[in-house]
Chains A and B, each alone.
Chain A
Amino acid sequence: MLNYSSLDWKLIGAAFLLSMIGVLLILSAQYSADTVFKQQYYLRQLIWLSIALVIFIIVIHLPIRLFDLSAYLIYAASLILLVMVLFFGTSRMGALRWFSFGPINFTPSEFAKVALIITLSRFFAYTKLPVASKRRLALSTLLSIIPLGLILKQPDLGTSFVFIVILFVLWFWSGLSPLYMFLIISPLISLVTAYQSVVWIIYIVVVLIFLFLLRPGLLFGIVTVVANLASGIITPFFWGRLADYQRHRILTFLDPGLDPRGAGYQIIQSKVAIGSGGILGKGFLNGSQTSLDFLPEPHTDFIFSVLGEEFGFWGALIVLLLFCFIFYRGTRIAVRCRSKFSSLLVMGGIAVIMFQFLVNIGMALGFMPVTGLPLPFVSYGGTSLILFWTIIGLIIAADYRWQEY
């Protein structure tokens, strides 16, 4: 039986506080909505929260070894669900992301996030391959790219980024040097910098210096240089030869929500809402809905705008600090865990929380494009809430049994 007093109550408290703030903000966001259904979103979120807490309690009672042993089973189940959603899912706004059971929508990509964390943790924890070995990198990439590809097919660009982040963070946490990781992703950066030749040349020089300092071996060096040059030179060449509408088609394929003008408009409204909140905010339920109504989904993607407007700078800062606290406690647990599997598991979970947090708030503040990633614990959405409480459950369980190998 669990000794409840030795659970990390501070971490649980922070997550619970964020969840409750979420319910209040959802209530406020749809307070003067035109239908009763929308006005009651907060009640539904409360029900979801109770379900999430039940799942949390179940997870902390399960032995952590169970996840370790069944990792590949969970992984297989997540892939099956991702394939099924492409055939039997409900289409909304041109994307197949949900299973609908009456009023309840289930998003299998959320489940796939946990599944990938568990699977990669298992893989990294037991592999005998050296940290920077090509087989280790290739196998872990393969494990991540299968669910990622299925999610791109839905299509959902924002969520597929989460899978890349999980892979990178677990590479890092399993000991791979960031410099080495930089070399691996360098062709991608080359692609981005290629739009301006001066920047690109400087960048290539930097890559060469890194290579010289690290001396990762001849074959690796050559592959890196060739990949960098190829993606920097060939891709812009092909891109430039495409007609405008073809480019637009490729971009909208990757992200069906892509509508630069529409998204820009939402971000302006979000900035006006947050900025008008000032230091102290306009007060709970006092947010001038006028500006928020321009946001199509104030209770999901733009929930932070509601927070900024009604609770001001202090309110926003408190939420920021709560996330940092979760990060701090989580990292501490990851460092303390003796089992490599648990440590990786905790770090993977923390990575998902922090990445979605940064991207969502970055979007509300206008730093980033609109991606549709919800704010963990706060945004409306049952599957998302269950996912994050499962992650918290795994972290708490790992912490409780930190001495186990």
Chain B
Amino acid sequence: MERFKLSLEGREKISYFVILVLLLVLTAGLVKLQIIEHAELAKKSKDNRIRKKPIIPRWGVVRDREERIIIDNRSSYTFSVIPAEEIKGKTLPNLSKLLNLDTLQIRKRIKKNMVSRYQPTPVKRHIPFEHVAIFEEQKNKFPGVTYLIEQVRQYDSTLGAETFTGYVGEISEEELKKLKKIDPKTYHLGSIIGKKGLEKQYNFLLRGHEGDAYIEVSASGQILGEYKEEKPIPAKAGANLTLTIDNDLQKACTQVLDTFCCGAIVAIDPRNGELLAMTSYPGYNPNIFSTVIPESLWQEIRSDTTHPLLNRPLNGLYPPGSTVKFVAIGAGLEEGLITANSSFKPCLGGMQFGNRFFRCWQTRGHGTLNAIHALEQSCDVYLYQLGLKLGVNKLSEYYDLCGFGKPTNIDLPAEALGKNPNSEYYNKQYGVNKWTKTQVLNNVIGQGELLVTPLQLAQFFCGLANNGIVFQPHIVKKKIHPNGDKRTVLPKISFRLPFSLKTMRILKEGLRLVVEGEHGTAKSLKNEMYSIGGKTGSAENPHGDSHSWFVGVAPLDNPEIVVCAIVENAGHGSEVAAPLVGKIIKVYMEKKFARENITMISTRKTE
């Protein structure tokens, strides 16, 4: 094995040789840079500065189901200061005059947004074009100032669509921390991201990817052009979205609520879960978030007692009132406690239970009713007696199976769960055995601690309208990627109502009688052209008059639309919410007839 050994002298020589070679390589490198390429590199360092400039991608455009625009982009100018190139006593005073901003304020913003002293730091967004023109003319007055053309989101403010569009805004520090973990390169201070609604949910799709351009800038701040040695990375445009929303219907929803204080409307196609319209009233103009919001306006919005920022359909928690009586009746039928024709003790305007008298809304009393007519006339006493038979937990179980107290999984962020109390909940809330059976009397008529969102209620009625099959509510119909790749979102069955077809038939008859029955609570909606079904509700609440509910289904033989409306503190469902829903259904049906070339008067007569 001696031939694998090397003598000490051998090793020493090899070591010197290796180091000598490597040293020569390094020296050659130094000579190349500092002597041969010196003139060129010196010029680069002296006169030219290489600047990395983000290429802002075009955000995706959002359209309604008929390809009418909901969210678009427009150009806007942003002024930036390069701190290293700023000349004290010249740049900022001149800039503050031009932008009408305090010098101190500008300084503050530079400090807040600065990434590096040599990179443009945004100072003010949304500069009117006249100011850009002045800047261009007198460029030498503003050393170290540049401007950038940015895309700004433009929302169609006539739609009242902010309920689902949400808005975009500058990234906050916490958001930056979170997003940096997912994607370390795309986000930086000053990035615009989706903050609410669709803009947040589909931020990754709509936003696209920022690119990088390398430009050379002379010492005086003049842009010399692209830096050739580094290839620019092009920006990737965001994907366009086509929504399931119908702008006509959306506008109608916003208009009908106009005369009231507050309310919400949700319209869904029960055949596939497509959201046709969704509005929360009062709303706000999402365009104000695209520009810098004046502090006073922000304060005004925040302190408004009608809560314009509350997304009522998704986050508003209301007692559902009589609208959920279908659940209890359905449960009674399924559990064999009643049949379609069973009746209980007659309603005499209320019922004594324990030491409390539970009223029926109809103080005159309904007399003896069967299950279907109890729905038609919304008799509370019938439901009280059924509720006692079901018990708290059975009823809660059915509410759960009908989608209450849990998310609908709509493709919008921050959906409220609602509340579906059972004995476990009451034990926790009041202590074991410290609550009474009276809770079930409240829950069975949609009062007490049962709370739902308008979206959950609409979803439940979609199930009633669609033979028990509930499709997951969704708002995006198509995703169109910039490379032309189109993805249509397919309807997805979310769950089935826990009712047999026989039960469903009875419940549907109840839906019909509410509008078409002799004693129906929403008789006013009955019309010649098309059949409507539905249910009224008046939810008592501690804030004043009852919330007025109505959920309508049309056309009842083959339902295409479910409209759920709530008007806060407006009174009985039959008086306020029902006519609103009637109007919206009318808009929908008129459009349908026009599309199918049928005049409205002729339809039913020829039948």
Contact = CB atoms under 8 A, between A and B. Distances in A.
Interface in A280-330: 288, 290-291, 293-294, 308-309, 312-313, 316-317, 320, 324, 327
Contacts of A175: 5-6, 11
B230 A291 contact: no
A272 interface: yes
Interface string B34-70: 1101101110111001101000000000000000000
Contact of A365 (B26, B44, B52, B84): B26
A159 to B, nearest CB: 20
Contact of B45 (A34, A261, A264, A272): A272
Given A131-B4, A265-B230, A293 B117 contact: yes
Interface stretch (B12-20, B155-163, B282-290, B517-525): B12-20
Nearest to A289: B84
A290 B219 CA distance: 10
Nearest to A270: B33
Contact of B30 (A172, A177, A316): A316
Given A265-B52, A335-B12, A365-B29, A324 B19 contact: yes
Interface stretch (A189-197, A354-362, A381-389): A354-362
Given A265-B52, A278-B38, A294-B50, A288 B1 contact: no
B121 to A, nearest CB: 12
B234 to A, nearest CB: 13
Interface residues on A, range: 35 or more
A264, A275, A290, A331 pick with most chain B CB within 10 angstroms: A275
A243 to B, nearest CB: 18
B116 interface: yes
A308 B30 contact: yes
B607 interface: no
Contacts of A259: 185
Interface in B234-257: none
Contact of B230 (A264, A275, A335): A264
Interface string A350-394: 000010001001100111000000000000000000000000000
Contact of B49 (A132, A290, A335): A290
B34 A274 contact: yes
B4 A176 contact: yes
A131 B26 contact: no
Contacts of B8: 335
B130 interface: no
A363 B31 CA distance: 16
A275 B40 contact: yes
Given A175-B6, A176-B6, A268-B50, A365 B30 contact: yes
B31 A290 contact: no
5 contacts: A264-B230, A276-B44, A290-B45, A293-B116, A320-B27
Contact of A367 (B1, B19, B29, B45): B29
Contacts of A335: 8, 12
A131 B33 contact: no
Given A176-B4, A294-B50, A279 B118 contact: no
Given A172-B11, A177-B5, A276-B38, A313 B30 contact: yes
Contact of B42 (A177, A214, A261, A278): A278
Given A331-B16, A365-B26, A216 B4 contact: yes
B493 interface: no
A178 interface: yes
A274 B12 contact: no
A400 B531 CA distance: 107
Interface in A103-140: 130-133
A275 B38 contact: yes
Contacts of B35: 278-279, 313
B22 interface: yes
Contacts of A316: 30, 34
Nearest to A213: B3
Contacts of B5: 131-132, 175-177
B23 interface: yes
A253 interface: no
A277 B29 CA distance: 14
A272 B26 contact: no
A288 B26 contact: no
Which one of B31, B34, B50, B185 has the highest number of Cβ atoms from chain A below 10 Å of its Cβ?
B34
Contact of B1 (A131, A173, A308, A331): A131
Contacts of A278: 34-35, 38, 42
Nearest to A327: B19
B337 interface: no
A18 B23 CA distance: 17
B137 interface: no
B15, B38, B42, B233 — most chain A CB neighbours (10 Å): B15
Contact of A268 (B22, B229, B233): B229
Contact of A177 (B3, B27, B29): B3
